Structure 1
Amino acid sequence: MLQEKGIFGNIGVQVVIAMCVGTIVGAMMGPAAGMFAPLGSMFIHLIKMLVIPLVAVAIISGAASLGSSQSAGKVGLATLGFFGLTSAVAVILALVLGGVFKPGIGVDLTGVEGMFSNAYADQGDLPSFWATLLGMIPTNVFQSLTEANILQILVFCLFFGIALSKVDKARRDPLINGVNTIVEAMIWMINVVMKVAPLGVFGLMADAVGTFGFDALMVVFKLFMVYIVALLIYGFIFYPAMIKVFSNVSPLKFLSVMKKPQAVALSTASSMATLPVTMEVCEEELGVKNATASFVLPLGATINMSGNAIYYGLVAIFFAQIFNIDLSIGAYIAIILTSTLGAVGQAGVPGPSFLVVAVLLAAGIPIEGLPLLFALDRIFDMTRTALNITGDAACAVIVDSMVDTGEAKPSNSQA
């Protein structure tokens, strides 16, 4: 899909170069670098334009394929179990690394106290179980599409796809073929949009650095470095180990072919925008059956957020150390539970800042310093998205190996 034409033709290299150039331009121009912000906004708008219809048709296609087999329930339970378990382990890893490397100890806040704000104090209550459950059920699916409520779209499309599989074969096949054709068309459109990804990343980085400056960047630099260590451990050790144990796919091959979707994830900071590339790699290069990939990957792009779980856990430790708070066992348990539930329910809340607030308040940690994170928010978002889609693909590979969906695996000439 994204052809590599030499080192500088690789989108991953282009994105890294764009980030570096954007950082330099932002540092040199200061607040005036905000003039490049529309480049980033244009790129994000183009991605958002395509994400909702792509997710909707991909989930319908996957649910329709699984619904005609006897293994839909097994695939669903295995997928949800994988996402919940890996998110919980991700938070525990974050807490361990935060305790070992202590990113908040010795942080110099001189010159950035003005960024402290209590503006998020009233945004930290996670919705109750019943409120969350009711909020997932759309009363008007067209309104859900208009408002981009991912969880409601997910529920309706899963239900509709399964219902479609129960219709007489002669009548359902033309409609399913039409849905698959739309998926292919959406993939082509996203490939075109990806050509402007480096420009978008440049604009976003220049604006962020120019707005916040290097003082704010250095305050959270140690946190960022520990965060990267956590992502590397999870992405290059934990997930490959699970693939080695629970599937017949080579972990080395998995890591090799995942470079392509990871590059797209870095540039878009969106699991859903990366979805077509992840699906192509899983089906054509890792041999995952289409029925499994079409169900697991859109679901994962919506609710599987291990990278976010690591972020929430580390941020909690970071601010606890800055404010010299000794966390109790109860506080650690609150962080694990809130981070896990928040990561899985990411698509159902207004944004990541809301969930960070929920985690901090659950553990009794002050939230005034939250704006400190905004300087590197874009980079945090890009890197955790790369881990999230790696987890999606790992889940698809493992579930496909453990559950028989009754569909022949695709021929894999690159195996």
Structure 2
Amino acid sequence: MDKILEKGELRILMAEEDWWPFFYVDERGELAGIDVEMGMEIARALGVQPVFIRKGVFNDLARHLEEDAADVIISYYSYTPSRSAHLFITQPYLMDSDGILVSHTLMEFMRNQKVDLNQEEITKYLNQRRLLRIGTLADTSYEAWAVETFPRARLSKAKPEEVPNLLTDKEVDVFYCAHYWLRFFLALHPEILLNYQYVQMDRKDLISMAVAQENLSLYFWLDSYIASSSSRNRDLEELIERYDAGEQEEPSPTIVDKALSDPWRSILLAVLVSGAAIVVYVSQRRIRRKSNSKKPPHWLLNMWTVLFSLLLGTYAGLAFPEVTELLSPFGDIFFNYLLLAGIPILFCVVILNFTRLMSNIGGLRFFLKFMGILLIFVSIGAFLGLAIGLVIQPGSGLPLESQQRLAETLQRQSAESSLAIDTSPGAMLWMIPSTMIPNSILKAFVENRTLSILFFGILIAFILLYQEEKRKGKVISVLTVVNDLFFTLFKLSYYVLPFGLFCLMMSQASAFTDNSGLFMAFIKLLVCQGIMLAAWFFIAVGVSLWKVPMPLPRYLSAIKKPMMIIFSLLSTLATLPAIMEVCEREEAFQDENVKGTLPLLLIMVIPTIASIFSLTIVFLVQLLRIEIGWVGYLFIGINSVIAGIAASGIPAPADLYSVSIV
């Protein structure tokens, strides 16, 4: 103590590596931080000048102090029994706690096994695992605490600058460190939350000062200083609020960024609207000239109107987020209206068509053959989507900045950090019957569980087959009236279809605002969907020409109108007879042409739903960097088959499947 006063300086030892916000070099090249301020206060109280000495790593500070390289350690120095055996450790001037980052894979296992997700139960579960990889900061006290907390784990040590890569590459299952260090680390690297979940531990981390055992007078003085009213009860939260992660350099705007900001966003929107109006006008004129009927289809039902409404909605959601909040509720109302009218239609049409089919001779044989073909093609569709997603990988390679923004968005929007999915063989085996057979059919209608409604409708149809003709006729008459009423309601949606799709796409696209990397990943997803649609179209045309021999140009001309009907109105398995009736009423279609459209619907539209579903789930798995094995992909494939069969009964515009899934 006397030497310090004689020299007029207090030598303060700190680790060489920055430990923000406790001690670090700021943007001006000056030493700053909570511990630096503490050292300056102590030097001022002693009436001397502070001299900061940065040397070695945390675990080497005790040796440097014993070699008289400094007078005191003020360096976010945690109390440990081994350190107190060689140094005098003061009472803590700050109190921190420890925390761990646990991989989402382990968190899923815990949820599936019904483990209470509190700190004690999580620690207990992790210690029961045979192979646990745990990481921590090298040359710090957390090496000892990590081994003490998880004695059976394999320990990996990393320098601070190596931690982001360690966690991004998922080289450890758990990462152990100080609560506030992890807090600021996640503020700088929020993309880590795509792979890990933070859990705060109960153990308290006592942040103290240390002096050599020969300097007893300085130890007593520091201990008294910390206990004094001026330094007691320092709130770490209040101290930390004075520091932030520093302003990060704004990246230069890309072409996409410019297209989504003023003044270009208004110019591009005007160009798109003008182009859409011209294309729809020209298309309507061509239809009017070629139409044999006096009244051509309304321009609101024109295929180009629908396509441009999807495009304009996507662009408006990206470029005009201030309008999204105003219009997106209409998109929800529109989609709810489709379900309101569509679900009763599904129920009625399934019963009516199935009853009529089974009443005919050979109806059961036809139905089983039909469902067998459907199941084969839907299964092919599901695994085709998986294959395209795994080969092209539309959700991989997301830029770091986009990952960070995605993680921040998920934090804001999700109460749960991830979804728990039971991929055990038993759960997967019983998933299909448990999905088909609900405990309440009313609940199935409320939750729009189409597979359950389809199954229930088929059961009702079977029961009707064995009823008296008079009673069966009454039930069929009632169902026909109900179906006609709801179908009339459903047709009213056609005239707000473009605006409804516009609002739906605007709401979906708003998720990509200020995240051009995520937007480009979504574009890759749409390209993959386009590849699948083209593949299924060629498959469908090939099968149709095989079943209905006719020249290719003639066939393509024949399916033009049914394709528009399929796209704009009734993309549905349950309403196949309705589509046939519409086609048969057109003079341009003979029976063979009508039959040729059925393979097109069955082979192209319905399996495409399964393909889109599986591709989209793979896209999300890649986007969120979730690791799943072959069982996980099998689970996705089975779910996609179910989605394809269930969604095939909903009367809705074809593209709404893709919109609602995304």
Matched ranges for 1:13-412 at <5 A: 13-95=304-386, 97-98=388-389, 101=392, 103=394, 107-116=398-407, 119-123=417-421, 125=423, 127-213=427-513, 215=516, 216-234=518-536, 236-246=537-547, 251-252=555-556, 253-264=558-569, 279-285=577-583, 304-313=606-615, 316=618, 331=630, 335=633, 337-346=634-643, 382=656, 384=658
Give the CA deviation at 1:36: 0.8
Report SS of the residue matched to 1:122.
coil
Give the CA deviation at 1:255: 5.0
Question: Within 1, Cα distance between the matches of 2:559 and 2:364?
Answer: 26
Deviations for 1:346-368, whole angstroms, at most 9, x for unmatched residues?
A: 2899x9xxxxxxxxxxxxxxxxx
On the 8 A contact 2:300/2:498 being kept in 1, the answer is no
Question: Within 1, Cα distance between the matches of 2:358 and 2:318?
Answer: 54
Give the CA deviation at 1:197: 1.5
Unaligned runs of 5+ residues in structure 2 are: 1-293, 411-415, 585-589, 648-652
Deviations for 1:155-209, whole angstroms, at most 9, x for unmatched residues?
A: 2221211221222323322332332232222222111122111221121222333
Give the CA deviation at 1:37: 0.8
Question: Within 1, Cα distance between the matches of 2:500 and 2:538?
Answer: 31
Q: 1:203 to 1:384 in 2, by over 3 A?
A: closer
Give the CA deviation at 1:52: 1.9
Q: 1:165 to 1:385 in 2, by over 3 A?
A: farther
Question: Within 2, Cα distance between the matches of 1:28 and 1:321?
Answer: 23
On the 8 A contact 1:15/1:198 being kept in 2, the answer is yes
Give the length in aligned residue pairs.
334
- The residue type paired with residue 341 of structure 1 is I
Question: Within 2, Cα distance between the matches of 1:13 and 1:46?
Answer: 23
Give the CA deviation at 1:228: 0.9
Q: 1:113 to 1:160 in 2, by over 3 A?
A: same
Question: Within 2, Cα distance between the matches of 1:322 and 1:157?
Answer: 38
TM-score under structure 2 length normalisation: 0.43
Report SS of the residue matched to 1:110.
helix
On the 8 A contact 2:378/2:645 being kept in 1, the answer is no
Deviations for 1:13-48, whole angstroms, at most 9, x for unmatched residues?
A: 222232233234333322552211111011012112
On the 8 A contact 1:103/1:318 being kept in 2, the answer is no
On the 8 A contact 1:19/1:201 being kept in 2, the answer is yes
On the 8 A contact 1:231/1:307 being kept in 2, the answer is no
Report SS of the residue matched to 1:123.
coil
Question: Within 2, Cα distance between the matches of 1:240 and 1:131?
Answer: 34
Deviations for 1:51-84, whole angstroms, at most 9, x for unmatched residues?
A: 2211111111112112323433323322322222
On the 8 A contact 2:331/2:503 being kept in 1, the answer is yes
- The residue type paired with residue 404 of structure 2 is E
Question: Within 1, Cα distance between the matches of 2:344 and 2:619?
Answer: 38
Which deviates more, 40-49 or 159-168?
Answer: 159-168
On the 8 A contact 2:385/2:532 being kept in 1, the answer is yes
Give the CA deviation at 1:122: 0.9
Higher Cα Rg, which structure: 2
- Between Structure 1 and Structure 2, the one with more helix by share is 1
Q: Which residue pairs with 2:244 in the alignment?
A: none
Q: 1:18 to 1:310 in 2, by over 3 A?
A: closer
Tell me which of 279, 284, 303 is aligned to 1:12: 303
Q: Percent identity?
A: 17
- The residue type paired with residue 157 of structure 1 is G
On the 8 A contact 2:351/2:461 being kept in 1, the answer is yes
- The residue type paired with residue 244 of structure 1 is L
On the 8 A contact 2:438/2:444 being kept in 1, the answer is yes
Measured on the aligned residues, the alpha-carbon RMSD in Å equals 4.2
On the 8 A contact 1:43/1:200 being kept in 2, the answer is yes
Question: Within 1, Cα distance between the matches of 2:418 and 2:486?
Answer: 37
Give the CA deviation at 1:50: 1.0
Q: 1:156 to 1:99 in 2, by over 3 A?
A: closer
Give the CA deviation at 1:229: 1.3
Deviations for 1:94-123, whole angstroms, at most 9, x for unmatched residues?
A: 455456655456553433433145833413
- Between Structure 1 and Structure 2, the one with more strand by share is 2
Higher RCO, 1 vs 2 (CA within 8 Å, ≥6 residues apart): 1
Q: 1:102 to 1:115 in 2, by over 3 A?
A: closer
Q: Which residue pairs with 2:82 in the alignment?
A: none
